[in-house]
Chains A and B, each alone.
Chain A
Amino acid sequence: MKHRRRIFVLLLLAAGGRALAQDAPRPVPTENVTVTGIKDVDQAVTKFVGSMTVPTRTADKIARWKQGICPLTAGLRPEAVKFVTRRVKDVAAQVGAPVNDRENCKPNIEIIFTTTPQALLDNVQVMYPFVLGYHDNSAQAAQLAKVIWPIQSWYSTATDDLRGNVVIDMARRKGMPMTLDMPVASASGGGMQVMASPTVTMNIPDAQIVNVTGSRLGDGVSSDFHHVVVVAEPAKLLDHEIGTLADYIALLALAQTVQPEQCQELPTILNLFAPGCTAPPKALTNVDLAYLRAVYKMTATTTARGQRGEIIYQMDKSLGAEK
């Protein structure tokens, strides 16, 4: 809890209170883009889900919010701050994500507008590296901390086991060393045989105990968001309206999404910064909303492959119904 407050203070300091001059915010309606122009919608949806979703490294699950979201925006004029925060909450409520509506809730989504995004991320890398997301070593941390996009997001995830134990996904876990004596399998006699002795000792440093079901369909483990940071650089966003930016931020904040390096076939607000997109949508599209709804409908504990299948099914269903 203390940690979170500290992160916020750090982020606020780094943002330096440099407010972005923006027009007064106004609500942006969701864009209804019909996907009939696409030959094979099912295939496009499968491709979209395959390229956009990122399973977590520790549990291999698609993460989503389990605790109510509490967004906090900094670095804009007060009315714009209110607008962005409200919009993220509204989108969350619209797609079935939990929302913490208490006034003094502890922020778990931090949206920072700053003129020096790389300096901010450098500081995060030193003081709160877990905010960058799972990494095994400093080289991976440095890679994660690179600011590439005008608006970029970082996801700290946690693994929630069968008994509700929640552990933040980190390479340097505070586990205990565990030694297991395993029977040796011998290859004699044409097939593998397990011999009673001798045994081989396996040393597992930082072992974690996770309660699972043992089923192949779902192990009872799920991935949740613990903390999400979205950083935006105002100087690179002058051509966009605050409503468009708020929608883009909402999508990033509610699902761990790969920002596309090429224009997506399906109309999505993620095309906003993708190179080669001539007329990207200026608001969340029905594809984006179908995707988010599907993420918050999927079975949390099934395999990532199963989760992707569920998302595709739900998106096909909702987009197909609109055709």
Chain B
Amino acid sequence: MRKSTVFAAVMGFLTLPALAQSPAVSRHPDGTGDPDATTCRPPQPLPASHFSGPQVCKLNSQWALLRKNGEDISADGKSIIPEVKSGSAGMHCNMVGGGASTGGQMVCQAQ
């Protein structure tokens, strides 16, 4: 009993600071907030691949600089690319309904 209490206390002590420091996550970080805080973009699908790239974590000041210059980080996290404006970015489209002879309907949703 006593051992488990000590263990729980130690674990709580070790994990709480880590949780408190976990960076914010945003699909489209725009650099708002504390410039020295980190915001992570979740993995994005790599072009022409079934795999996703890594999570990309940058300081808000870095995201802000990218947005100011109309830029973004590539899905593989390795390079800076021109920013794709929202509306076309992250849309996943599928044909829904329709048969062999009748046309279906294109349904797009944000990823």
Contacts and interface: CB of A to CB of B under 8 A. Distances in A.
B78 A122 contact: no
Contacts of A13: 79
A127 B80 CA distance: 8
Interface of A is mostly: helix
A307 B59 CA distance: 37
Interface string A111-125: 000000001001101
A126 B66 CA distance: 8
Interface string A1-24: 000001000100100000000000
Given A119-B69, A122-B69, A141 B78 contact: no
B36 interface: yes
B44 interface: no
B36 A138 contact: yes
Interface string B52-92: 00000011111001100101010000111000000000000
Nearest to B60: A138
Contacts of A196: none
Interface string B32-63: 00011000000000000000000000111110
A321 interface: no
Interface string B8-51: 00000000000000000000000000011000000000000000
A126 B74 CA distance: 13
Contact of B80 (A126, A137, A139, A141): A126
Interface in A87-140: 119, 122-123, 125-127, 129, 137-139
A10 B66 contact: no
Give me the 9 closest cross-chain CB pairs, A-B, nearest first: A138-B61, A138-B35, A126-B62, A137-B36, A138-B36, A123-B80, A138-B59, A122-B65, A122-B69
Given A126-B80, A137-B36, A139-B35, 14 more contacts: A6-B78, A10-B80, A119-B69, A122-B69, A123-B71, A125-B62, A125-B65, A126-B58, A126-B73, A137-B35, A138-B35, A138-B62, A139-B61, A142-B61
5 contacts: A6-B78, A125-B65, A126-B65, A129-B62, A142-B61
Interface of B: 35-36, 58-62, 65-66, 69, 71, 73, 78-80
